[in-house]
Structure 1
């Protein structure tokens, strides 16, 4: 007690009371920075169209704030969601793969690579299929991601059912324009000759002829390209056992059994471990 009769404050209490606001402020600052980082991630990445490039660019800090590691969907439900999402992507021509479902795995493969997905979210494989499947696993493991329904029927057509080309409407329109250009060119050239080799109609006629021939060349090239792409697509279908033989490099036999013991060391974990696993 001092001369005025009041009791001086306890130094320990003063130090404690002085630390509390700072601690609360630092916690609030930490939460604010996390929220800011989450907002930046949501603005930077389009999770409705999340692909391999986005997955490669995302840092560990961005991944941690974007996804809740304690709410991952795993097991058969994860395989169901990945299967539905991959099949929809194949139907939309965003990916090319044949998809087969096993008891404890999901297999997606093309003529050059494969991806073998396990219920725990791990995956192994090679090629572009593996690259395309990884972000699908990450998305489908998120509870707030709405996976599409499994498409009905076969998602890949038989090779003989692939048309020779796309829609002919565009080619026919360009072809009609080319014919009009050619007719206009012939008429102008004829008029120039009849009028005594007048330069203006002759030059205009030659210009229309050049344009018409160029447009016909574009149409012919487009049709050849369509036929080439159709034949290439048929070859890819045959290579993945659609009307052809199964690729030899697959780790699954014709009966759906794994051809060898797949060790955990060969698998790549797509989902980060949760706090309970650490």
Structure 2
């Protein structure tokens, strides 16, 4: 019977084949790892290149020497991350102080209508239509136009390069009773003088055409035009005064709605902000009958 066991030469050949296969698998694996590393490096390079391109586009689009809330509102999140270094942002109490100062300036300039108050967990800004709560970490919550106005302010004040002007002192919003009935009357008086002059000129031309032998029709036509123009000016002055009166009354209502002249706050605020801080402090000092009884008992003993 023939021996089926492999000879020494056959064993060496099989060992060589196995080693060759192992070497080929190792080479394939090494090539795959090298390919993955190459793809990862290429991806990182593409990401860095796209970030640089985005940063260059942002620099070309926006003027950071005159960067304001309007520009901030137009920027996307990707543009913001590409343009600014998040590690250099200002946070904490310094951020709240800068936001408060910037908002006070904007309120004084009548760019924003809001009332500012410091609360336990941050800065509260509210109007008759909405509110915003700014936290020390730069986050914000709220609703309405106030939230829309506060968001770009937080972003700007968190940048060290943004200079905040010194804010005005005292109450920024006037008392409702101190709001005048309308704007300046100088413009209205000037229009009235022009209207009176036009009216007299028009009536003079018409009277001259009626009582004097004037054959041309230019005088009565021009007189009628002058009279109509004068009446138009009088109507415009009356409309301006009426509009000023309505605007003044609307502004008074908005001031009352935010609690100017009182300690009330709007009902749409979160419950923890509806009561002023002073009121809660006063409530905390109310006498407790049980505490008084214990004190009396201790003193009698």
Interval of TM-score (by shorter of Structure 1 and Structure 2): 0.7 to 0.9
- 78, 92, 96: which one pairs with 2:109? 92
Equivalent position of 1:237 in the other structure:
255
Equivalent position of 1:126 in the other structure:
143
- 68, 76, 90: which one pairs with 1:49? 68
Deviation, structure 1 residue 217: 0.6
Q: In structure 2, do the counterparts of structure 1 residues 46 and 172 end up closer, same or farther at CA, with 3 Å as the change threshold?
A: farther
Is 2:205 the counterpart of 1:184? no
Deviations 1:221-263 (A, max 9, x none): 0010001000000000000001253212222142439x9xxxx
SS in 2 for 1:108: strand
TM (norm. structure 2) is: 0.71
SS in 1 for 2:234: helix
- 247, 251, 260: which one pairs with 2:266? 247
Whole-angstrom distance in 1 between the partners of 2:139 and 2:51: 31
In the TM superposition, 1:133-172 aligns within 5 A as 133-172=150-189
Equivalent position of 2:212 in the other structure:
195
Q: For the Cα contact (< 8 Å) 1:192–1:200, is it kept in 2?
A: no
Q: For the Cα contact (< 8 Å) 2:265–2:274, is it kept in 1?
A: no
Equivalent position of 1:115 in the other structure:
132
The gaps in structure 2 that reach 5 residues or longer are 1-41, 281-301
SS in 1 for 2:165: coil
Whole-angstrom distance in 2 between the partners of 1:190 and 1:253: 69
Equivalent position of 1:228 in the other structure:
246
Equivalent position of 2:60 in the other structure:
40
Whole-angstrom distance in 2 between the partners of 1:123 and 1:93: 22
Whole-angstrom distance in 1 between the partners of 2:233 and 2:187: 12
Number of equivalences? 233
Greater Cα offset, 31-40 or 211-220:
31-40
Deviations 1:131-184 (A, max 9, x none): 111111001111010112121110000000001111111111111111110011
Is 2:231 the counterpart of 1:213? yes
- 251, 256, 261: which one pairs with 2:277? 256
Structure ranking higher on relative contact order (CA contacts 8 Å, 6+ apart): 1
Equivalent position of 1:269 in the other structure:
none
Whole-angstrom distance in 1 between the partners of 2:81 and 2:265: 40
TM (norm. structure 1) is: 0.76
Q: For the Cα contact (< 8 Å) 1:41–1:62, is it kept in 2?
A: no
The gaps in structure 1 that reach 5 residues or longer are 1-22, 260-278
SS in 2 for 1:94: coil
Deviations 1:38-57 (A, max 9, x none): 422324x7854323xx4443
Equivalent position of 1:59 in the other structure:
76
Q: CA RMSD in A?
A: 2.6
Whole-angstrom distance in 1 between the partners of 2:257 and 2:97: 25
SS in 2 for 1:182: helix
Deviations 1:14-37 (A, max 9, x none): xxxxxxxxx9x9999778635522
Runs (4+) of structure 1 exceeding 4 A deviation are 25-32
